[in-house]
Amino acid sequence: MNRFAIKAGLGACVLGASVLIPAQVSAEPAATATGTELSGMTVFLDPGHQGSSEGHDLAQQVNDGRGNTKDCQTSGMTSLGGVPEHTINWNVSQLVKSSLESLGAKVVLSRQDDTGWGGCVDERARAASESNADVAVSIHADSTAQGEDASKHGFHMIIPSLPIPDEKADAAQSGGGLEASTMMRDAYKSDGFVPANYAGVNDGLQTRADVAGPALTQIPLVFVEMGNGSNKEDSAQLESTDGQLKHAITITTGVVTYLLTGSEAAPAEELAAAPAATTAPEASEDSASSTTTTTPKATTPKAAPKSTAPDSAQFSELMEMLAPLLEVEGLDGLEDLVNDKNLGLVSDLASTLMAVITGAGGN
């Protein structure tokens, strides 16, 4: 099975485009997805920022995880086309959530809507830690200017300067967090995204000591900056239905790759037996905090992951295939895509993803 089939499977899974069949993207047979491949696993998704800060003080000082304090929250960037970052983050997170849940994962959100308050950065870190998730993903978009900035572009993952004062956070981010961030970076590069060319980003990774989330989170965390909203090309992609879908597919690929092949992943036989699971200098960070503390899960090493992503030309071909489905289903944009009906459907094409990542298919 070729690598393009994987992305077609993810794309269809995210969209809920059940009218497609594997034969349309690959002549080779695919294993049947059971929807339980990620059963027993939990992912904490943090759509950065919030719809409204009314009644809250963004400048309230909270713990930064390194013995100092910082602002409770930032307002987030606004793209060149006028779309607020919190909405871009929310749309992408909903598509990622749907895809992961269709494979059996439990997904916990830091905020429950895109209209109200989403919590201070320390609250979101605490909620992530108390979720006992296998991995947390904080989804953001960056900016480098109030207006257009043509010279700076690209994605990056923010990783914390080590060591982190809190021993549990240090262990989580120096181990699984760094591994998951690297896998996410690789997924982005494989999908044709270009690493950021500013702010000291090194091959898609930026090390920082001033971002509270990673320093306070006691489970592996990936902090994604999808692109620069001040750059015309990056902004257009962040705003568009196709662009948000592409980011969602890439983020889902990074998460699934880490969960199934990372050093903290459960053995394949354990997965098979698992029951079904019912920005600028100041990075954007963010939700509802949980109150239940649980014991970390045991982990077992697995083999290194295979590269699974297609090139840009292949993704363009996928998007051309999926475009007619939007018309057939009467979907005008993400406001129509992100609804209970469409997100609840799971395409048979999702099996192509699992067949390759779990080693059931060839390359």
Name the residues annotated as catalytic. 225
State the pairing for strand pair 69-71/61-63.
antiparallel
Asked if residue 311 lies in contact with residue 188, where contact means CB atoms within 8 angstroms, the answer is no
Q: CA torsion angle for 30, 11, 108, 238 (degrees, to 10)?
A: 160
Integer Cα distance of 361 and 356 in angstroms: 5
Residue type, 47: P
Name the helix (H) or strand (E) containing 44.
strand 42-47
What residues have CB less than 8 Å from 74, skipping those under 6 apart? 49, 58, 279, 282, 284, 285
Integer Cα distance of 352 and 4 in angstroms: 9
Q: CA torsion angle for 314, 316, 317, 322 (degrees, to 10)?
A: 130
Compute CA distances 142 → 79, 114, 128, 152, whole Å. Answer: 9, 18, 22, 11
Integer Cα distance of 43 and 160 in angstroms: 20
